[in-house]
Amino acid sequence: MHPAFSVLIFTVTSGAGYGLLAWLGAGQLLGFTQTLTVNQQIIIGLMAMVLVSIGLVSSTMHLANPKNAWRSFSRFRTSWLSREAVFAILLYPVAGLYAAAIFWQWPGVNILAGLSMILALVTLFTTSMIYASLKTIRQWNTPMVPALFMAYALISGGLLFLSVDAFFGTLKPQLQAVVMGLVVITLALKLVYFFWQGKPQGATIQTATGFSQASVRLLDAGHSAPTFLNREFGYQVAADQLLRLRIIMTLVTFIVPLALVYCVFGGLVRAELLGFAWLIMMAGLLLERWLFFAEARHVVRLYQGEQRT
Amino acid sequence: MKLGLVVDLDTCVGCHACATACKQWNTSGTIGPLSDERPHGKDPSGSWLNRIHSYEVGDSPHSKTVNIPMSCMHCETADCVTVCPTGASYKREEDGIVLIDQDKCMGCNLCSWACPYGARELDPNSGTMKKCTLCVDRIYDEQLPEAERQPACVLTCPTSSRVFGDFDDPDSEVSRLTRERAGQQLMPELGYNPVNTYLPPRIPKQQDSIAVSPMQGVRQLVNRIINR
């Protein structure tokens, strides 16, 4: 699949924003935001919504006909993209009420915190299901995809929460341990995903043409210059380069930030370095999302000369 | 009604006439124009609703060239319709034709991702998705003589390897051909239930050896009589 830059930015930044909001809501419910002042809590909420908004604006960039984008709320019953649009917009008034509840210390603040957290997680889930529901791309059509998308959001949002916490001077070691544990779980899940992805399965040129008992080779794709289908689905990266990028991605997204958080946890380096760790993780997640697209092989490729997906 | 096409892979010669006729009709049809980029340049590209792929099936010297024209299969389980967030992509109740409302499409490409057959292409000019309409603006046009109320690709096919009809009617030609020639769907394992059906090439009759000496002919005749 062609990795559209606007979609990479969208899923990574809005993911971190939803993750941060989920941590803020969880902190309200579990009590670990009590060390923060009202203004500090509102700043964290604002940061989350700014990240989410950057992502959502970026997502409209890849529309070829954005003047009809408002119609995307209309097919909530069948379309995951429509569901995502509805939940993403619904979150704004709820998050606004949550901020008001923090500011004026309304009694219903816990309910609004919980609601914001749930809406953030539901929006993340609907985003991931856009990809996971496509039967045409076997690398995406797995429950591991929503699990991974939500895990990425929680670790990037969690690390950002820690960085801001450190900036305010209220860093909590327990929370650091929880985020480190989540990073390790996410890494394990991603490794499982890589191994699962390498297993040959799915449609082949035989099922695509109906000649199930013979060898089939494409002689002529039927066009002399690349088509929309080639550009959208024919994205090809050399296998050795993919392996190298997978290793770099694993190091940058998981290992380096994990090591930095551990050093802060052990008191080896200054806590302000957590912000640096978050930036490194975000760069790694961008590479991860690029790989997510570059390694996805749509079945249309079988009509463009590939033997299997 | 379940309207669709039967394509005979035995007789299709891969001449691309169906694709050209399709482009010609539909560029001025209800979803038109089907725009092109650099039509007279070095690498012309544009939206087509029908494309022909040529394959070598089997291993030489026992291989065969098979041409597979592909357009929208008007699937019974059309994921391209359910993934559409705007409601632009829809499947008609009355005849099963899958269409795109050009006034509603926002060009998000998701339907083309959901289609396993490459039937949907984004128009570079309008920014909306285009696909085969089964010539919905021809097949119901009562101004046309009845014989011409068929998709442009079917009318133009020089070897008559494309047949249009109603798969719900067991006596229609498409149903009969599918039954008698063991018509099959492409990539049935994905579960989209494509309506368009492809007739596999006929298996050539086993020929007796061509150069037969008179004595061998007699021997064969004797063997045949004995074995009876």
Q: Could you tell me the residue ranges of all domains in chain B?
A: 3-227
For residue B125, which of B30, B31, B29, B19 has the smallest C-alpha distance?
B31
Give A153-180 pLDDT, tens digit per residue. 999 999 999 999 999 988 889 999 999 9
pLDDT at B215 over 80: no
Reported as a pLDDT band with limits 50, 70 and 90, residue B211 is: low
Q: B67 with B52: CB under 8 angstroms?
A: yes
* CA angle A204–B199–B161, rounded 5-degree value: 120
**Assembly ipTM:** 0.92
The residue of chain A nearest to residue B59, with distances taken between CA atoms, is: A215
pLDDT of residue B212: 62
- pTM recorded for the entire structure: 0.91
The residue of chain B nearest to residue A7, with distances taken between CA atoms, is: B108
CATH number of the domain bearing residue A251: 1.20.1630.10
Look over chain B and give the mean of its residue pLDDT values, rounded to a whole number: 93
Mean pLDDT, each 10-residue run in order, chain A (309 residues)? 94 97 95 91 96 95 92 95 96 95 91 96 97 96 96 97 92 93 97 92 92 93 91 91 95 96 90 92 97 95 92
The residue of chain B nearest to residue A78, with distances taken between CA atoms, is: B82
B166 strand-pairing partners? B3
- Which DSSP state fits A300? G
Give B45-82 pLDDT, tens digit per residue. 999 999 999 999 999 888 999 999 999 999 999 999 99
Reported as a pLDDT band with limits 50, 70 and 90, residue B227 is: confident
pLDDT of residue B221: 82
A103 in any annotated domain? yes
Nearest-angstrom CA–CA distance, B86 and A97: 29
Domain that holds residue A271: 5-304
Reported as a pLDDT band with limits 50, 70 and 90, residue B176 is: very high
Rounded to an integer, the average pLDDT of B146-166 is 96
Both structure tokens of A188: 């394990």
Q: Where are the beta strands (DSSP E) in B3-151?
A: 3-8, 36-37, 45-46, 51-57, 64-70, 89-91, 98-100, 121-122, 129-130
pLDDT at B220 over 90: no
Residue bearing the bigger pLDDT, A221 or B207: A221
Domain count of chain A?
A: 1
Q: A22 with A48: CB under 8 angstroms?
A: no
pLDDT at B155 over 90: yes
Give B98-122 pLDDT, tens digit per residue. 999 999 999 999 999 999 999 999 9
* B86: Cβ contacts below 8 Å, ≥ 6 apart: A68, A71, A72, A74, A75, A82, B104, B105, B106
Q: H or E stretch including A261?
A: helix A256-265
Q: Which residues of B touch A68 (CB under 8 A)?
A: 86, 88, 103-107
Give A73-121 pLDDT, tens digit per residue. 999 999 999 999 999 999 999 999 999 999 998 888 999 999 999 999 9
A309 in any annotated domain? no
pLDDT of residue A267: 86
Q: Is B82 close to A78, i.e. CB distance below 8 A?
A: yes
Q: Is B116 close to A81, i.e. CB distance below 8 A?
A: no
Residue of A75, A216, A223 lying closest to B86 (CB–CB): A75
A62 in any annotated domain? yes
Q: Which residues of B touch A298 (CB under 8 A)?
A: 113
CB pairs under 8 A between A and B: 179
Q: Which residues of B touch A81 (CB under 8 A)?
A: 83, 85, 108, 110
* B200: Cβ contacts below 8 Å, ≥ 6 apart: A210, A211, B9, B10, B181, B182, B183, B184
Q: Which residues of B touch A134 (CB under 8 A)?
A: 79, 83, 113-114
Q: Is A222 close to B112, i.e. CB distance below 8 A?
A: no
The residue of chain B nearest to residue A214, with distances taken between CA atoms, is: B58
- B3-227 topology per CATH: Alpha-Beta Plaits (3.30.70)
